[in-house]
A and B are shown apart, each in its own frame.
Chain A
């Protein structure tokens, strides 16, 4: 078995999954609360124990690097990096918006605009169309307007769905109803993330407003 540990902490729902190839073998989650003394390490340790595994059984780690709650994302990424380093195994950083894109695109087979709240009117805005085309940061309505300029029909996901539907009345917009992506895709689609795996001295970095551009020449559909 080539076990994969998947970690997602980009929302207050912390999730840990253990999988083999593309199958989720075990998953556990809890909603973070300020009175909760549990943390991601406890969740991982409990998950391994329930499967009768040791950390040394894990052969790779795949981690959600946001965007999301900044401190929350760093919690999972710091843990994932530390575990990958100590076990001498690779780690794969995956954007939270890509997980949303995969889930929604499979259902609609239409371009998906995904937004994640940031400060004031700003947001992370991603465009997924069979694959993640771009992630940009800026004033939400402006960035979305640029991305969908040539697109008449698309799906919205994430934090600003109602706002986008209202702001662009001339477009045919489907509300996916999806706010956050499911970390199960970290395991189920891990083959498609293969080229993102790194080993120390490289490691995973949380996305920030300065590191959003992943596809420089795809500003619109």
Chain B
């Protein structure tokens, strides 16, 4: 029986298609980004995201097969993100996937996008050592989870308001950096000094996150300060976020027996987070598992790899959209 999966990911603003085998070897991964479309809005405009997906999904599928040098008959199944995500974007991926499955006579499995992110750390080689504490930080999600094994996942905490990626985008807009804010703030922060004492909301209050207060503090500072030094603002904001993330990770590791910390999601590409997480793990005597930068942001290879978990456990979830989907669910 074939051991390759076609993965399709359209939960937000990237149309991504990949072909991956059971060991996590990526035969092809094609991402058609929509950055140009959303830059003018300073964030993802959901209606335009859906429109762009429908224009790009078939060419992206076609390129993925060509790059992998395989035919549709070679695949075992199609794994497609069913949620969480933007409904207009999810519907394009799900309906395209079900149609492809019908035409090629292949099963189509609805995959939890968050489980995809967790599996991203195992693409191309197995990196995660179990049990593990997971920090998922992206534009849509910020949470800590405990992963006893690849299938047993428990949510430890999440954000009460903004996700880290959302806060980066909004502060990026305040600093006139454009979209997406994450990489641009990261770059600007490296040119500044973290001298501004922005608050660290809920730093000592359990594992939950709250970032809206920090974002508001940056806005107030910019409104009330004459000639603010933007690189210093960026560096101080990033430092505040890092202090929160690292502190919460330390608490989660202390409370939950684990041998590794896994940092995934788009913000896992942040250089300062990677460096500070490495320092934390060294201090606590555990391993740090990071996906390579290319798998940190949304991609379909992680969805294809996660699909194997669904097949192996016979959790063949239907490709029906679910806007809210906890990490603990298949």
Question: A78 — which chain B residues lie within 8 A by C-beta?
Answer: 54, 57, 91-92, 95-96, 99
Provided the pairs A78-B57, A81-B58, A83-B99 are in contact, do residues A37 and B320 lie with their beta carbons within 8 angstroms? yes
Bound CA span A77–B51, Å: 11
- Which residues does chain A contribute within 8 Å of B58, judged by CB atoms? 81-82, 85, 200-201, 203
Q: B47 near A: Cβ within 8 Å? A: yes
Contact A55–B102 (Cβ < 8 Å): yes
Instruction: Give CA–CA (A44, B54) in the complex, Å.
Output: 20
What DSSP secondary structure best describes chain B's contact surface?
helix
**A75 to B100, Cβ gap below 8 A?**
no
Q: Contacts A45-B102, A70-B88 given: A82-B95 contact, CB under 8 Å?
A: yes
Bound together, the chains give a CA A105 to CA B98 distance in angstroms of 37
How far does the alpha carbon of A40 sit from the alpha carbon of B99 in the complex, in Å? 9
CA of A42 to CA of B41 in the docked complex: distance in angstroms? Answer: 37
Q: How far is the CA of A76 from the CA of B95 in the complex (A)?
A: 8
Cβ proximity bits A69-103 to B, threshold 8 Å, 1 near / 0 not: 01100111111111101110000000000000000
B268 within 8 A of A: no
Q: Are A71 and B59 in contact (CB under 8 A)?
A: no
Query: Secondary structure of the A side of the interface?
Result: helix
Cβ of B221 within 8 Å of any chain A Cβ, yes or no, is no
Question: How big is chain B's contact interface, by range?
Answer: 20 to 34
Q: What 0/1 readout, one digit per residue, does chain A (16-39) give for beta carbons within 8 Å of chain B?
A: 000000000000000000000101
Within B14-68, the residues touching A (CB, 8 Å) are 47, 50-51, 54-55, 57-59, 61-62
A205 at interface, CB cutoff 8 A: yes
Q: How far, in Å, is B67 (CB) from chain A's closest CB?
A: 16
B55, B102, B320 interface centre (most CB from chain A within 10 Å): B102
Question: In this complex, what residue of B is CB-closest to A208?
Answer: B51
In the bound complex, do residue A85 and residue B100 qualify as a contact, i.e. CB atoms below 8 Å apart? yes
A111 surroundings in chain B (CB, below 8 A): none
Residues of B within 8 A of A81 (CB): 54, 57-58, 96, 99
Interface residue total, chain A, C-beta cutoff 8 A: 28
Query: Inside 8 A of A83's CB, which chain B residues have their CB?
Result: 99-100, 102-103
Q: With A and B bound together, what is the CA distance between A152 and B207 in angstroms?
A: 71
Cβ distance A47 to chain B, nearest Cβ, rounded Å: 12
Q: Is the CB of B91 within 8 A of A86?
A: no
Least CB distance from A206 to B in Å reads 7
Q: How far is the CA of A68 from the CA of B47 in the complex (A)?
A: 14
B72 within 8 A of A: yes
* B102 to A, closest residue via Cβ: A55
B88 touches A200 (CB 8 A): no
| Cβ proximity bits B84-107 to A, threshold 8 Å, 1 near / 0 not | 000110011011111110111100
Given contacts A74-B88, A86-B72, contact A41 B99 (CB under 8 A): yes
Closest to A70 in B: B47
Residues of B within 8 A of A200 (CB): 58, 62
Closest to A210 in B: B51
| Known contacts A37-B320, A79-B95, A203-B58; is-contact A86 B104 (Cβ 8 Å) | yes
Given contacts A41-B99, A82-B97, A85-B100, contact A71 B54 (CB under 8 A): no
12 additional A-B residue pairs with CB within 8 Å, beyond A71-B88, A206-B54: A39-B95, A39-B320, A41-B319, A74-B91, A74-B92, A78-B54, A78-B95, A82-B97, A85-B103, A86-B103, A205-B54, A208-B51
The 5 closest A-B pairs by CB, nearest first: A86-B103, A82-B99, A41-B98, A78-B95, A82-B96
